[in-house]
Amino acid sequence: MSWRNLKLAAGIVLASLMLTSLALSHGNLQSAKPGPGETVSQSPETIELTFNEPIQSGTITLVQTGGNAIPLTPVEATSPDMLVAEVDETLADGEYNVLWMVTSEDNHIINGSYSFAVSTQEEDFPSILAIIGGIGLIMLVVGGLLLWRGRFGSERQ
């Protein structure tokens, strides 16, 4: 291979590496509140998305599983890499999808989605009541059997 061809090949490899790194450097979702796959015990007041680089603009859409869009109000973020929206109503128990779209600093449009769930039901309290109720029922049955045996058992002797 000639020196000229070697320089040309090196230039092509260098250019492709630079283009690859530019393509991979677009904004990505770094963290979210509520987080992907998270189950929260109360309706969130806001949806907060943080990206790995500053963003120019963006939108958040919240959709309940089944298709109902939930109204959101955009809120000015405290950081240039954040997108924040206020949830305008109390969310019912269920699963929700967060759909987002942002414009990165280099004018590329990036979008994505994730889901979270709301479950406000207290699981431990009803199960404790069920256990106490079950024990009470057992005691009532055993007590009734002992009384019955005491009344009728003494007549047999």
Burial class (CB in 10 A: 0-12, 13-18, 19+), 64: middle
The amino acid occupying position 42 is Q
Q: How confident is the model at residue 17 (pLDDT cuts 50, 70, 90)?
A: very low
The predicted pLDDT at position 20 comes to 43
The amino acid occupying position 47 is I
The predicted pLDDT at position 129 comes to 54
Contacts of 53 (CB under 8 A, 6+ apart): 25, 27, 81, 104, 105
DSSP SS3 for 127: helix
**Torsion angle of the four alpha carbons 30, 34, 36, 38, in this order, in degrees rounded to the nearest 10:** 140
**pLDDT tens for residues 82-125?**
999 999 999 999 999 999 999 998 899 999 999 999 999 876 55
Q: Which residue has the tokens 């998270």?
A: 38
Compute CA 38 distance to the chain's CA centroid, rounded to the nearest angstrom. 4
The amino acid occupying position 54 is P
How wide is the angle at C-alpha 85 spanned by C-alphas 80 and 86, nearest 5°?
A: 140
The predicted pLDDT at position 1 comes to 57
How far, in Å, CA of 78 to CA of 103, rounded? 17
**Region of poorest pLDDT, from 48-52, 72-76, 140-144:** 140-144
Burial class (CB in 10 A: 0-12, 13-18, 19+), 4: exposed
How far, in Å, CA of 32 to CA of 127, rounded? 32
